[in-house]
């Protein structure tokens, strides 16, 4: 369970970096054993291909989503971190433990800040290329801050965002800095929006590599940020701009048609012990921008299952059911029809095409453009089930509120067990129309299938607390309640 905090790994890209592997002693104390050797524009371009920017090791959101439950005896044998996150405990980490939710993201912010501050002085290359690298670093920094604020800052509420505590905004790669103050949630969101809007004009027009930022990626992220801020008109414009530019992609970007991929001779067949044979990150055509973590609860761990309510959201004709099994890993069948996720093993958390369509559909529905919203939802559903089953029911499509709720449920059908629900829970918790009227609960089932314990999410735990080790190292910072 122990992970290194704020470490920079040796990334070995053309021997460009020589950085310390020792644990940090301050919020951003990363002490290089030497200097960043990158000098040329080409060097800095290579830094943005660092695989540490791909693998995030941040999986807490899977355990905190309300679309999952847990079952014995597997839960009692799970890591303590797993149990605490599932129970929405106040304390997740022991006093000597680091939080993976902080480690890699802070490393990446350090790298982005180095590039941002140094690219102007790089040798060789054109001014246009320098601007593109600067833009990509700023957009990457925005993505990372968006991840962190969804762990450690309160959900965005325009009426309180100016006073709600967020996270420190760090703009310089300064390893000597030892005092950090938490910016408010409003300042963090403004910072993210500023980074994205400033970067978009200088980014490549279309996706050319799944590990690298482009205009449509940054626009899609901007749309997601605006949705969390309740700015649905701005979000719809950004998401529509993203979808238009995807047409100029230099790599395949499209939705997989599960009617074909799950056919007897389809690409995803056969369905084995680890789920359907799914494309790798670099080959995944639905992946507009690659960020990933190994999802052990869609792999070999058996303690986390989807709730019966989640399972009931699927019709028997929904081909997404191929990503579920009714038994523990190499074990017995679960009681009461419970199911666990089986793949893909690497959960994609960067920017997926299916997410973009569902986000735009929600925006359109909230703006009263019901027919356009339905078109987006049905476009996705036709790729997930036979066309005759994909239509949005008329009782749903004729009513704005019903349609929005249907889209929110479609998001669960598309992303259950992959961590996406956590983000929706947070933003919906401050939504005057669509917030849960019964709260969020987790059920721990006994091995017999009977309900054992029920855990209720307190509003305070829509935000993680900083681990004690970090607070000791940074005594000037305030923790979350």
Whole-number Å distance between alpha carbons of 199 and 344: 32
Q: Is residue 374 part of a domain?
A: yes
Whole-number Å distance between alpha carbons of 239 and 220: 5
How many distinct structural domains can be found in the chain? 1
141: domain CATH number is 1.25.40.390
pLDDT average, residue stretch 141-154: 98
Three-state DSSP at 199 gives: helix
pLDDT at 473 over 70: yes
Whole-number Å distance between alpha carbons of 289 and 282: 10
Three-state DSSP at 453 gives: strand
Two tokens at 172? 């310089």
pLDDT average, residue stretch 308-322: 98
Beta partners for residue 165, in sequence order: 184
pLDDT-derived band at 270, boundaries 50, 70, 90: confident
Q: What is the per-residue pLDDT across 343-362, written as a single tens digit (0 to 9) for each? A: 999 999 999 999 999 999 99
List of residues 6+ apart from 3 with CB closer than 8 A: 57, 97, 98, 99, 100, 103
Q: Is residue 290 part of a domain?
A: no
For tokens 């993505």, name the residue: 143
pLDDT-derived band at 3, boundaries 50, 70, 90: very low
pLDDT at 316 over 80: yes
pLDDT average, residue stretch 161-187: 88
Beta partners for residue 311, in sequence order: none
Q: Is residue 278 part of a domain?
A: no
Whole-number Å distance between alpha carbons of 281 and 291: 9
Q: What is the pLDDT of residue 177?
A: 66
Q: Is residue 458 part of a domain?
A: yes
Two tokens at 75? 């839960």
Whole-number Å distance between alpha carbons of 38 and 44: 6
Q: What is the per-residue pLDDT across 71-113, written as a single tens digit (0 to 9) for each? A: 999 999 999 999 999 999 999 999 999 999 999 999 999 999 9
Q: What is the per-residue pLDDT across 179-203, written as a single tens digit (0 to 9) for each? A: 788 999 999 999 999 999 999 999 9
List of residues 6+ apart from 265 with CB closer than 8 A: none
Q: Is residue 94 part of a domain?
A: yes
Three-state DSSP at 139 gives: helix
Q: What is the pLDDT of residue 382?
A: 98
What is the residue range of 382's domain? 54-171+182-257+350-473
The rounded percent of the chain whose pLDDT value lies above 90 is: 85
Q: Which residue has the higher pLDDT, 456 or 29?
A: 456
Whole-number Å distance between alpha carbons of 55 and 147: 13
Q: Is residue 376 part of a domain?
A: yes
Q: Is residue 35 part of a domain?
A: no
Q: Is residue 8 part of a domain?
A: no
pLDDT-derived band at 432, boundaries 50, 70, 90: very high
């Amino acid at each position: 369970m122990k992970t290194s905090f704020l470490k920079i790994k040796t990334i070995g890209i053309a021997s460009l970096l020589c950085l310390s592997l020792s644990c940090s002693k301050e919020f951003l104390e990363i002490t290089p054993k030497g200097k960043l050797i990158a000098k040329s524009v080409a060097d800095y371009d290579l830094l943005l291909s660092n695989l540490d920017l791909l693998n995030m090791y941040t999986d807490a959101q899977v355990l905190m989503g309300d679309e999952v439950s847990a079952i014995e005896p597997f839960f009692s044998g799970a890591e303590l971190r797993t149990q605490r996150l599932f129970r929405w405990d106040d304390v997740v980490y022991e006093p000597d433990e680091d939080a993976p939710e902080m480690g890699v993201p802070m490393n990446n912010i350090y790298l982005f800040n180095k590039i941002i501050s140094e690219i102007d002085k790089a040798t060789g290359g054109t001014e246009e290329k320098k601007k593109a690298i600067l833009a990509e670093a700023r957009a990457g920094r925005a993505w990372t801050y968006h991840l962190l604020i969804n762990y450690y800052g309160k959900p965005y509420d325009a009426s309180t965002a100016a006073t709600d505590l967020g996270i420190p905004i760090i703009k310089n790669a300064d390893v000597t800095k030892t005092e950090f103050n938490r910016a408010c949630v409003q300042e963090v969101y403004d910072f993210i929006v500023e980074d994205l809007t400033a970067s978009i004009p200088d980014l490549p027009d279309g996706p050319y590599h799944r590990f690298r930022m482009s205009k449509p990626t940054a626009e899609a992220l901007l749309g997601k940020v605006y949705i969390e801020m309740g700015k649905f008109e701005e979000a719809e414009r950004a998401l529509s701009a993203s979808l238009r530019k995807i047409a100029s992609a230099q790599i395949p970007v499209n939705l997989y048609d599960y009617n074909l991929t799950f056919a007897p001779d389809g690409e995803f067949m056969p369905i084995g012990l680890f789920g359907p044979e799914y494309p790798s990150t670099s080959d995944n055509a639905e992946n507009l921008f690659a960020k990933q973590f190994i999802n052990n609860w869609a792999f070999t761990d058996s303690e986390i299952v989807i709730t019966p309510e989640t399972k009931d959201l699927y019709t028997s004709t929904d081909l997404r059911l191929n990503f579920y099994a009714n038994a523990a890993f190499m074990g017995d069948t679960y009681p009461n029809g419970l199911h666990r996720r089986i793949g893909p093993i690497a959960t994609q958390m960067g920017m997926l095409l299916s997410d973009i369509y569902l986000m735009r559909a929600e925006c359109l529905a909230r703006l009263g453009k019901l027919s356009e919203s339905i078109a987006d939802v049905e476009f996705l559903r036709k790729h997930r089930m036979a066309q005759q089953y994909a239509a949005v029911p008329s009782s749903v499509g004729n009513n704005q509120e019903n349609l929005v709720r249907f889209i929110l449920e479609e998001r669960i059908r598309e992303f259950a067990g992959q961590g996406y629900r956590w983000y929706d829970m947070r933003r919906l918790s401050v939504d005057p129309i669509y917030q849960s009227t019964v709260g969020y609960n987790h059920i721990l089932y006994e091995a017999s299938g009977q309900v054992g314990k029920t855990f209720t999410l307190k509003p305070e735990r829509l935000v993680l607390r900083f681990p004690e080790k970090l607070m000791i190292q940074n005594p000037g910072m305030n923790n979350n309640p």
